[in-house]
């Protein structure tokens, strides 16, 4: 029922959408002109990730995977922990270099940390209130789980959104797409998601229906077709795309015939076979009733 209604609204709204080329800004040029503060000081924009390996002889397999992840979309691999680079360029004393650095430099430039654990496990973590919080665990057990694409799909599913708003200007919305695209589509603006780095799939509520007007790889320009709220859209607000795996899984009918997202802790159907139960906190294991999408 909800699904049919959504499709109908989308078709009507698309009729009134601006034609492509109608002064629609180039998303890549727009992104390149954004002030640094948008990228560095917006808590909800997750742009960079790095891999932290604790072993003395770090394996290159994770780095090889991570290098490829950058080709998929908005998330960019940062080859070292940003704070360790900042600390390293502060080592001037020969003695300090001999015994190892204890220089502390507060320069958190990396948003997402993929921490290696024993047994070929990778634990994605994000910083919330100054503390690292895990939101899943990836294990390589089969060849297909070792591919970058499989891992990236899993990671994006765990983050539970497809795009993030970077800027709003003259009625246009610039967003970064976790999966780079070539085709236009529609999206759902997620309510109260601007300050969050990772969403909980069970707590998502729509706030507006968006139409993608122009796309250049990992950047896209949207406009709002329908909105529940008159409040301005904040950078960092998350978007679910119409044909994305995220939205499909949310719109999939439950066993009771209701639209429902998978409960936290349940492995989504598309997830890699080796995926372990995500380390979501108990508080996020909300009942399916919270997982409805707004129309």
Which residues contact another protein (rule: CB under 8 A)? 31-34, 36, 39-40, 47-48, 70, 76-80, 82, 84-86, 88-92, 94-95, 97-98, 103, 105, 107, 109
Q: How far is the CB of 94 from another protein (least distance, A)?
A: 4
Report strand pairing: 138-139 vs 163-169.
unpaired
Helix and strand tally (H, E) in the chain?
8, 11
Bridge-partner residues for 176, per DSSP?
A: 164, 219
Q: How far is the CB of 178 from another protein (least distance, A)?
A: 15
Residue closer to another protein, measured from CB, 14 or 96? 96
Residue closer to another protein, measured from CB, 94 or 183? 94
Q: How far is the CB of 62 from another protein (least distance, A)?
A: 15
- Could you count the other beta carbons within 10 Å of the beta carbon of residue 264? 20
Residues ≥6 apart with Cβ < 8 Å to 265: 277, 278, 280, 285
Q: How far is the CB of 145 from another protein (least distance, A)?
A: 25
Q: How far is the CB of 109 from another protein (least distance, A)?
A: 6
Report the alpha-carbon angle 206-282-133, nearest 5. 80
Residue closer to another protein, measured from CB, 36 or 102? 36
Residue closer to another protein, measured from CB, 65 or 210? 65
- Could you count the other beta carbons within 10 Å of the beta carbon of residue 5? 10
Residue closer to another protein, measured from CB, 38 or 226? 38
Report strand pairing: 48-52 vs 112-117.
parallel
Answer positive or negative: Cα dihedral of 289, 290, 291, 295.
positive
**Three-state secondary structure readout of 148-169:** HHHHHHHHHHHHCCCEEEEEEE
Residue closer to another protein, measured from CB, 69 or 264? 69
Between CA 105 and CA 112 the distance in angstroms is 18
Q: How far is the CB of 54 from another protein (least distance, A)?
A: 18
Q: How far is the CB of 127 from another protein (least distance, A)?
A: 16
Report strand pairing: 238-241 vs 121-128.
unpaired
Residue closer to another protein, measured from CB, 86 or 263? 86
Between CA 190 and CA 104 the distance in angstroms is 37
């Amino acid at each position: 029922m909800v699904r049919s209604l959504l499709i109908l609204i989308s078709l009507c709204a698309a009729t009134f959408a601006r034609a492509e080329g109608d002064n629609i800004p180039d998303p890549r040029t727009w992104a390149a002109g954004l002030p640094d503060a948008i990228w560095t000081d917006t808590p909800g924009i997750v742009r960079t990730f790095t891999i932290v390996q604790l072993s003395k002889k770090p394996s290159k397999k994770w780095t090889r995977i991570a290098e490829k992840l950058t080709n998929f979309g908005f998330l960019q691999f940062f080859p070292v922990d940003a704070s360790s680079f900042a600390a390293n360029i502060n080592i001037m004393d020969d003695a300090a270099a001999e015994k190892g650095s204890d220089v502390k430099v507060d320069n958190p430039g990396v948003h997402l940390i993929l921490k290696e654990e024993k047994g070929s496990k990778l634990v994605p973590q994000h910083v919330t209130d100054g503390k690292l919080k895990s939101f899943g665990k990836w294990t390589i057990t089969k060849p297909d789980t070792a591919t970058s694409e499989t891992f990236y799909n899993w990671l994006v599913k765990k983050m539970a959104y497809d795009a993030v708003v970077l800027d709003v200007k003259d009625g246009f919305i610039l967003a970064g797409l976790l999966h780079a695209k070539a085709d236009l589509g529609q999206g759902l603006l997620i309510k109260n998601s601007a300050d969050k780095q990772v969403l909980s799939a069970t707590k998502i509520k729509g706030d507006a229906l968006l139409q993608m007007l122009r796309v250049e790889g990992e950047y896209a320009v949207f406009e709002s077709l329908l909105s529940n709220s008159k409040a301005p859209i904040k950078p960092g607000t998350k978007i679910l795309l119409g044909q994305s795996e995220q939205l499909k899984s949310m719109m999939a009918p439950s066993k009771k015939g209701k639209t429902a997202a998978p409960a936290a802790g349940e492995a989504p159907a598309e997830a890699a076979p080796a995926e372990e139960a995500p380390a979501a906190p108990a508080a996020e294991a909300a009942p399916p009733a919270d997982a409805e999408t707004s129309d």
